[in-house]
Structure 1
């Protein structure tokens, strides 16, 4: 059986549409359909069936994907074995990380890896945790940086291994002229009458903020929904609102913005995720060592 055809079927089990599989594998939808059809012809059994706008696997398709998972795991394990034998940290390692941890850790990690291992190329993609985990499962990246807000431990694929990287707490950010400026800590109850500017890049963050405020007895008055950190901070700086953002964001110099801790604290755990069987890869080990060192050096006070 052709590995490309098996990979297309495996992707279809996750993504449910030919178009989504085509986008993930960088081919056309017709090419994906042809790969599935050739696999069905080879095996003499239907592997997929259409339901509405999506595609679902038949029982035979499900069994084949379960076997394919083990095949791909063995292929990656074999690659790691060969790389370990070579002992040369070279080639390419693909990394996906969400914005706050990427801004704080990835540039310095890549810089040091270039200095220590000039034959190693780090290919970086900015992705939210759920997206990066999907990319990891579909072999579009080699390591995904995730957090337990977006990816609870029980939601992990059994073929994915994780290593804890660091912990991070959320802070309230207010303009320097705000009455809360110069305060070391603040309770959510003290913020019930504030206007909020929020970063909507992560739905999980928005839900977390709303739930935390509701637990404190109020619904946040959201006056700005931004798609990134830069606009959110600009609005805070000009006194248009306040926000609650990860401590990693506060590790950068924030001119005219005051950062204070929330009491009780809201904490998240950040981890590295990679496919089982690949940890022996020298390139992966080098990346893990360096980003762990950078996480220790830049860890915000908790």
Structure 2
């Protein structure tokens, strides 16, 4: 059985549509369909069936995906073992990360690795946690940062290992001089009458913040849906809005604003994930070690 065809089937098990599989594997939908048809011909069994507008696996397809997971893990292990035999840590390490982690934690880690391992290229790509995990599964990334507000790993990610990085506390971001800016803590209920700026680039995070308000008994009045933190900061700085932001954002304070810890405390658990077969990959392990020993993580850890 052809490995590329098995990978296409594995992708389909989590993505459900030919278009999504094609995008992950950088193929056309027709090429993916052809690969799956050839795989079915090889095994002599139906591996997929239509379900509404999508496609799901048959029992035979699910069995084959389970075996494929093990094969791909073994291949990653083989690559890691070979990498250990080399004299130099070299090549590309692709890291999928969301903006707060990228800005607050990673520059010092990458600078340190570049100084000690000049033949190792660490390549960052900004992705939301769900997209990063998908890239990890399709070999589009070697490391992906995730958080427990947006990602709950399940049996489909059994080939993925996680390493806890930091617990990131959430803060209310208020204009300097705001009626609540002098308090040591603030409840979400106390923000009921405010206008909100929310980060719409991450629908999961924006929905999480909105749900905090709903649990406090109100629907937030959103006057700015921003694709990125720059506009949120400007809206709060100008006294137009308030927001709730991750503590890692405070690595680069915004003039004219005050961050006040939420009461009760709300935090998100940030982890990095990598494929289980890469547990001995020297580049992956060096990255993990440098990150966990970095000052940025230590100062933000509970």
**For the superposition of Structure 1 and Structure 2, which TM-score range results when normalised by the shorter chain?**
over 0.9
What TM-score results when the alignment is normalised by the length of structure 1? 0.94
How far did 1:295 drift?
5.6
Match of 2:67 in 1: 67
Match of 1:181 in 2: 181
Match of 1:105 in 2: 105
Is contact 2:105–2:297 with CA below 8 Å preserved after alignment? no
Q: Distance in 2 between matches of 1:50 and 1:255?
A: 55
Residues 1:116 and 2:116 aligned together: yes
Q: Distance in 1 between matches of 2:280 and 2:182?
A: 48
Match of 2:280 in 1: 280
Q: Distance in 2 between matches of 1:9 and 1:66?
A: 11
- Of residues 268-277 and 84-93 in structure 1, the stretch that sits farther from structure 2 once superposed is 84-93
How far did 1:251 drift?
1.4
Q: Distance in 2 between matches of 1:10 and 1:113?
A: 33
**Number of residue-to-residue matches in the alignment:** 302
Residues 1:23 and 2:32 aligned together: no
CA deviations 1:74-111 (Å, max 9, x no partner) are 00011111112225211111111111111112222222
After superposition, the CA RMSD in angstroms is 1.8
Match of 2:235 in 1: 235
Match of 1:267 in 2: 267
How far did 1:230 drift?
0.8
1:277 alignment partner, SS class: helix
- Of residues 265-274 and 205-214 in structure 1, the stretch that sits farther from structure 2 once superposed is 205-214
- Which consecutive unaligned segments of at least 5 residues does structure 1 have? none
- Of residues 180-189 and 9-18 in structure 1, the stretch that sits farther from structure 2 once superposed is 180-189
CA deviations 1:179-226 (Å, max 9, x no partner) are 223333222232121111111222332232223223333332222111
Change (3 A) 1:155 1:238: farther
CA deviations 1:96-135 (Å, max 9, x no partner) are 1111111112222222211111100112111111111111
Q: Distance in 1 between matches of 2:288 and 2:191?
A: 39
Q: Distance in 1 between matches of 2:287 and 2:14?
A: 28
Match of 2:250 in 1: 250
1:179 alignment partner, SS class: coil
How far did 1:294 drift?
3.0
- Of residues 268-277 and 154-163 in structure 1, the stretch that sits farther from structure 2 once superposed is 154-163
Is contact 2:73–2:277 with CA below 8 Å preserved after alignment? yes
1:61 alignment partner, SS class: helix
- Which consecutive unaligned segments of at least 5 residues does structure 2 have? none
Q: Distance in 1 between matches of 2:284 and 2:154?
A: 24
Q: Distance in 2 between matches of 1:234 and 1:40?
A: 55
Match of 1:194 in 2: 194
Is contact 1:165–1:295 with CA below 8 Å preserved after alignment? no
1:272 alignment partner, SS class: strand
Is contact 1:170–1:265 with CA below 8 Å preserved after alignment? yes
1:122 alignment partner, SS class: strand
Q: Distance in 1 between matches of 2:263 and 2:301?
A: 14
Q: Where in structure 2 are the equivalents of 1:22-41 lying within 5 Å?
A: 22-41=22-41
Is contact 1:104–1:298 with CA below 8 Å preserved after alignment? no
Q: Distance in 1 between matches of 2:153 and 2:12?
A: 24
1:299 alignment partner, SS class: helix
Match of 2:55 in 1: 55
Change (3 A) 1:156 1:99: farther
1:161 alignment partner, SS class: strand
1:92 alignment partner, SS class: strand
Is contact 1:172–1:262 with CA below 8 Å preserved after alignment? yes
1:239 alignment partner, SS class: coil
